[in-house]
Amino acid sequence: MTVVGTTPPPRLPVRDRTAARERYAGGVSPMLTRLAEERATGVLDREHGTLHLAEGRVVHAESPLAPSLGVLLTAHGALDAETWRDVEDSAEMERLVRYGVTPGALELAQVSALYDAAYFALAPSSTPGRFRYGGAHWLASVHPVPVAGLERETLRRRALLRRLWPDPATDAAPLIRADPVAAPVVPSRQAAVLEHVDGVRRAVDIARALGRPAFHTLVHLRRLAAAGLVAAQPPPAPDPPPDTGADPYVALLKRVRDALEAL
Amino acid sequence: MPGIDECLLETMRLPGARGAALVDWTSGLALGTVGDPPGGDHETAAAEAAELARLAAEQQAFGPGDGTEPADPPVEDLILSNRDSYHVLRFVPTSFDSSVFLYLWLARADGNLALARIRLGEMAERLVLG
């Protein structure tokens, strides 16, 4: 009598996360690390922002999720908006100084805007980054930052937000005011953020309105969320299921899909 | 007209200066560092000093009592002392929204606290106003 044994099914391939982590040694973007090693000059486009490199160092950053240097400088009257456009069009740094922005103030604002936009540009992305070799940005000489330092700071910032309040919901969603039973006293800089919470604006909108770095706004919002004063607008209720009586499988498949998406 | 590094190097010329940094107190980022780090690591020292600066800057009770509209932040500087050193934190006023302070670690034996306070105030102003 022969015993027919069934071969066990092959193991599903699973990505070894620990190995991947070790390979990149805590790096945020392997591509950026490589560009730093080869001292590249050009522009790295990532899903949530753009990093400008000059000789392997990051000299400027932009992100749709962070107010630009122009917004930071113009929002509180350090420079008027028309002058900023004029300077940006000419791409001449000396003009800023001529219009009364001192080198120290420019450096402070630029380094603040750089780390701010880089935090979002280096956020985990679902599409690969793209690098275009080219000339250096017109603000390249203001305050170049080494890639390793920028990546370390970005990781530190993620950890800081997690420590303040672990739920990232307030980072990106429209925000609403919550009404805690015993509302704590809110410090003035957080109160300015709270005043702009209206059920429509997101963190980045509030940052732009205040002319304040977006990461600072995220910090304030996490503190406000921890105090129970702010919450993310819950997503709109799903549409009532359409009448799919004709084909019961469609309804079943949709329920399966919804359940999978909710995982 | 100084930038961040020139400002920090000038801070180090104060008698008794051990280390200095320019720190953002909302994020805890050290925008520049020079000299020895208090506690052995500039980044950790910056983050810890930032936490202290934030607590001081956010309390209205520490603002001036003359009834005028308090500045942002209402505090000028913060001084800590221990057996062998001073830590002086000087808030930097800017014409745009920021939250930075100059941080000086000063040896108590050779340092002059009154002089350091005055010079830090001057440097904070010159950094932004040129």
- The three-state (H, E, C) secondary structure of chain A, written as one string: CCCCCCCCCCCCCCCCHHHHHHHHCCCCCHHHHHHHHCCCCEEEEECCEEEEEECCEEEEEECCCCCCHHHHHHHCCCCCHHHHHHHHHHCCHHHHHHCCCCHHHHHHHHHHHHHHHHHHHCCCCCCCCEEEECCCCCCCCCCCEEHHHHHHHHHHHHHHHHHHCCCHHHHCCCEEECCCCCCCCCCHHHHHHHHCCCCCCCHHHHHHHHCCCHHHHHHHHHHHHHCCCEEECCCCCCCCCCCCCCCHHHHHHHHHHHHHHHC
> Are A192 and A210 contacting, i.e. CB atoms less than 8 angstroms apart?
yes
> Are B43 and A160 contacting, i.e. CB atoms less than 8 angstroms apart?
no
- Min Cα separation A71/chain B (Å): 10
- Min Cα separation B30/chain A (Å): 9
Closest CA to A53 of A81, A29, A75: A29
User: How many whole angstroms separate alpha carbon A176 and alpha carbon A184?
Assistant: 17
User: How many whole angstroms separate alpha carbon A212 and alpha carbon A203?
Assistant: 11
Candidate from A157, A187, A210 with C-beta closest to B97: A210
CB distance B31–A108 less than 8 Å? yes
The model's pTM:
0.84
Q: Choosing among B27, B60, B123, which should be mutated to test the A contact, i.e. which has the most A CBs within 10 A?
A: B27
For chain B, list the domains and their CATH numbers. 4-126 (3.30.450.30)
Dihedral sign for Cα A192, A196, A197, A201, please: negative
Measured between alpha carbons, how far is residue A146 from residues A29, A32, A56, B31, B44 in Å? 14, 11, 8, 12, 18
CB distance A157–B27 less than 8 Å? yes
CB distance B96–A157 less than 8 Å? no
> Are B102 and B22 contacting, i.e. CB atoms less than 8 angstroms apart?
yes
CB distance B58–A216 less than 8 Å? no
Q: Which residue has the tokens 């994020």?
A: B27
Burial grade of A258 (CB within 10 A; 0-12, 13-18, 19 or more): exposed
Kindly report whether the peptide bond that precedes residue B73 is cis, defined as omega within 30 degrees of 0: yes
Q: From the CB of residue B52, how many other CB atoms can be counted at a distance below 10 Å?
A: 16
Q: Which residue has the tokens 């995982």?
A: A263
Contacts of A107 in chain B (CB under 8 A): 3-4
B128 shares contact with chain A (CB less than 8 Å): yes
Residue A231 bridge partners (DSSP): A176
User: How many whole angstroms separate alpha carbon B43 and alpha carbon B30?
Assistant: 6
User: Along the 130 residues of chain B, how does pLDDT read in single tens digits?
Assistant: 478 999 999 999 999 999 999 999 999 999 999 999 998 999 999 999 999 999 999 887 888 888 777 677 889 999 999 999 999 999 999 888 899 999 999 999 999 999 999 999 999 999 988 7
Interface confidence (ipTM) of the complex: 0.92
User: How many whole angstroms separate alpha carbon A11 and alpha carbon A151?
Assistant: 36
User: How many whole angstroms separate alpha carbon B100 and alpha carbon B110?
Assistant: 27
Contacts of A98 in chain B (CB under 8 A): none
- Using DSSP's 3-state secondary structure scheme, residue B122 falls into helix
Contacts of B27 in chain A (CB under 8 A): 115, 157, 160, 213, 215-216, 219
- Min Cα separation A107/chain B (Å): 7
Smallest CA–CA distance from A72 into chain B, residue:
B96
Q: Which residue has the tokens 């939250």?
A: B99
User: How many whole angstroms separate alpha carbon A71 and alpha carbon A116?
Assistant: 13
User: Along the 263 residues of chain A, how does pLDDT read in single tens digits?
Assistant: 566 677 777 777 666 555 555 444 557 889 999 999 999 999 999 999 999 999 999 999 999 999 999 999 998 888 888 889 988 888 888 888 888 889 999 999 999 999 999 999 999 988 889 999 998 999 999 999 999 999 999 999 999 999 999 999 999 999 999 887 777 889 889 999 999 999 999 999 999 999 999 999 999 999 999 999 999 988 777 776 665 555 667 777 888 888 888 77
Residue B24 bridge partners (DSSP): B100
Q: Choosing among A152, A155, A189, A220, which should be mutated to test the B contact, i.e. which has the most B CBs within 10 A?
A: A189
CB distance B58–A188 less than 8 Å? yes
- Min Cα separation A102/chain B (Å): 6
Candidate from B27, B43, B95 with C-beta closest to A219: B27
User: How many whole angstroms separate alpha carbon A104 and alpha carbon A110?
Assistant: 10
